[in-house]
């Protein structure tokens, strides 16, 4: 009995610290899909911080947001607080498509597009040029909207397809980047 209890305790401890596919606290889900037409209406607004305590880091903030195909997905940095803050938003879709924006409104970025597929879209906020970022706070609005004609998706951010494997005679193919907008 004592051996079973020890083994059960060990199994529990291992399961508590074992890596999993879940990213608790990382995925942000907006349960509403709105038809409202005001900018950022019905969005989830959250505060975030780009941390850079040592001043030498290419600090960034990351999260994952959800969308279904055909929905307008809008991620908008509505305010920045901190000296020297100048951000860029990069969103990577479930299929590898990349959307990025810097300075949509002043120095604040905004990414908006019609989601091509169901899933989690990974959002990164960092300094626009990749240089060490000053530590700063921001507000981010994330919303899901119905239809392609919604003003929240006016001036959509162009998406770029992921690299595709190039076939080379003889089988020595390597990935070749494709910088063609997906049209989504």
In a domain, 95, yes or no: yes
Beta strands in the chain (DSSP E): 27-28, 44-50, 60-67, 72-81, 87-92, 98-102, 110-114, 119-127, 136-145, 159-160, 164-165, 175-176
pLDDT digits (tens, 9 = 90+) for 126-135: 888 887 777 8
Banded model confidence at residue 2, pLDDT cuts 50, 70, 90: low
In a domain, 12, yes or no: no
8 Å CB contact between 40 and 76: yes
Q: What is the mean pLDDT of residues 21-44?
A: 81
8 Å CB contact between 134 and 86: no
Q: What end-to-end distance do the CA atoms of the chain give, in Å? A: 61
Q: What is the mean pLDDT of residues 42-59?
A: 80
| DSSP-assigned beta bridge partners for residue 27 | 64
In a domain, 179, yes or no: no
Higher-pLDDT residue of 116 and 132 is 116
In a domain, 4, yes or no: no
In a domain, 160, yes or no: no
Question: The domain that contains 57 carries what CATH number?
Answer: 2.60.120.380
Please determine, for residue 173, whether its predicted confidence score (pLDDT) is greater than 70: no
Higher-pLDDT residue of 36 and 166 is 36
pTM exceeding the 0.85 threshold for the entire prediction: no
Quick one: pLDDT at residue 93? 97
Q: Which of 7-16, 25-34, 60-69, 150-159 has the lowest mean pLDDT?
A: 7-16
* Range among 15-24, 28-37, 166-175 with highest mean pLDDT value: 28-37
| Residue range(s) defining the domain that contains residue 73 | 23-149
In a domain, 164, yes or no: no
Q: What token pair was written down for 42?
A: 């019905």
In a domain, 94, yes or no: yes
In a domain, 74, yes or no: yes
8 Å CB contact between 181 and 156: no
pLDDT digits (tens, 9 = 90+) for 58-110: 678 899 999 999 999 999 999 988 888 889 999 999 999 999 999 998 888 99
Number of domains in the chain: 1
């Amino acid at each position: 009995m004592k051996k079973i209890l020890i083994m059960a305790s060990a199994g529990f401890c291992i399961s508590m610290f074992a890596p999993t596919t879940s990213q608790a606290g990382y995925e942000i889900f907006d349960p509403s899909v709105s038809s409202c037409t005001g900018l950022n209406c019905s969005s989830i607004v959250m505060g975030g911080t780009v941390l850079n305590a040592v001043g030498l880091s290419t600090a960034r903030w990351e999260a994952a947001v959800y969308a279904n195909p055909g929905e307008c997905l809008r991620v908008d940095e509505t305010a920045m607080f901190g000296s020297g803050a100048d951000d860029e938003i990069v969103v990577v879709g479930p299929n590898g498509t990349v959307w990025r924006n810097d300075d949509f409104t002043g120095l604040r970025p905004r990414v908006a597009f019609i989601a091509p597929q169901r899933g989690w879209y990974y959002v990164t906020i960092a300094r626009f040029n990749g240089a060490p970022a000053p530590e700063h706070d921001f507000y981010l609005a994330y919303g899901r909207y119905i239809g392609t004609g919604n003003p929240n998706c006016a001036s959509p951010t162009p998406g770029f397809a992921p690299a595709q494997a190039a076939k080379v005679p003889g089988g020595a193919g390597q990935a070749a980047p494709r910088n063609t907008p997906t049209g989504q």
